[in-house]
A and B are shown apart, each in its own frame.
Chain A
Amino acid sequence: MNPQLVAVLALAAGTYAFRLAGPALHGRVELPARVQELLTTAATVLLVALLATGALMAGHEFAGWARPAGVLAGGVLAWRRAPFALVVVGAAAVTALLRLAGLP
């Protein structure tokens, strides 16, 4: 079999197993409210870590100023309860304009 196909299938199977953890355990094991709460917080922490690394880093290096500036602009818009569309477009526009101005 094609080695790349093997890699895709292994990655798919493993990922599905990770994803099945919650639904498989749900209703079977009654998690204490404190644990539930901790899981919710853990998910938020993971999302923040993802967005922080996604905003600041490209691979193992700093992504340059344009991208985090755009994300920050989007964050400010979201904080001020701007519509979602404006958050997305605002973030992309700020980054694009800064790049146009020569900022990496």
Chain B
Amino acid sequence: MRTAQRTLGPAGRTPRDRKTCSDPDPDPAKTPALATDPRLLRDVALVCLADGVVGLSFGAVAVASGLPVWLPVLMSLLVFAGSAQFSAVGVFAAGGGPVAAAATGLLLNTRTAAFSLAVADALGRSWPARLVGAHLVTDETAAFVLARTDPAARRRAFWISGLGLFAAWNVSVLAGALAGSALGDTDRFGLDAAFPAVLLALVLPALRDSRGVRRAAAAGGAVAVLATPFLPAGVPVLLALTGLLLARRPA
């Protein structure tokens, strides 16, 4: 069994959550399920809040660009992927056709295939769980799952973050669409820095633990940033996978 390879944090700490370990945790195997992960609930709540702000601005931007209220709301329910939704609305606003809007969003969402492969074990075995869970695979849920190694903790992290984010995202998009452009410029509050910071905090355990992963991520990130000015949205992030070539070298 190679689960040890997937261990993202130093040995001796609980596999459930390492990024905010300021106090020692009891052994997860000896404690009952839900009550043991107060940090998970707190972290999920915060990410929901951060995503809620993004959802508000998405709803507002979509309506301000001339779309009917139901469109961003329906899109959030059915697509449930922030960056793809923003890009599709951007294409509409720029006068692009439905093919361009769908293609841009799909290109951005190809990465969810990779995430779904990486977190498939966390959804559960039954087909209803797999079919419903598939819709909840996002950048954030993947990050929550990847920060944990214990199967039960991964499943818990997936469902709590997935359902929480789905609710927060859709409610906030609806609110934003109804509020329209009354919100003004949210960049003033620095909220555009919150989302990358959230992702950084979530991947930090994986980066801390393995030199190979660190090297691959640094190379991939650099490739993505350098390619962004020249390539259509979505492609640079996929190009980052070339960084994996550096991951297999002995750490």
Contacts and interface: CB of A to CB of B under 8 A. Distances in A.
Real binding pair: yes
Interface of A: 3-12, 14-16, 18-27, 33, 36-57, 60-61, 63, 66-68, 70-71, 73-75, 78-79, 81-85, 87-88, 90-99
- Candidate in A8, A18, A53, A78 with the most chain B CB atoms within 10 angstroms: A8
B134 interface: yes
Majority-rule SS of B interface residues: helix
B31 interface: no
Contact of A75 (B113, B116, B197, B216): B197
Q: In the A-B complex, list the 8 residue pairs whose CB atoms are closest, starting with the nearest.
A: A74-B197, A22-B116, A95-B190, A70-B193, A49-B240, A96-B190, A7-B98, A91-B197
Interface string B72-88: 00110011110010001
Contact of A3 (B79, B98, B120, B218): B98
Nearest to A92: B190
B192 to A, nearest CB: 6
Contacts of B60: none
Given A10-B102, A45-B244, A60 B207 contact: no
A13 B149 CA distance: 31
A85 B109 contact: no
Interface residues of B, number: 98
A99 B142 CA distance: 32
B102 A43 contact: no
A77 to B, nearest CB: 8
A88 B55 CA distance: 16
Interface in B112-160: 112-121, 123, 125, 130-131, 133-135, 137, 139, 142-143, 146
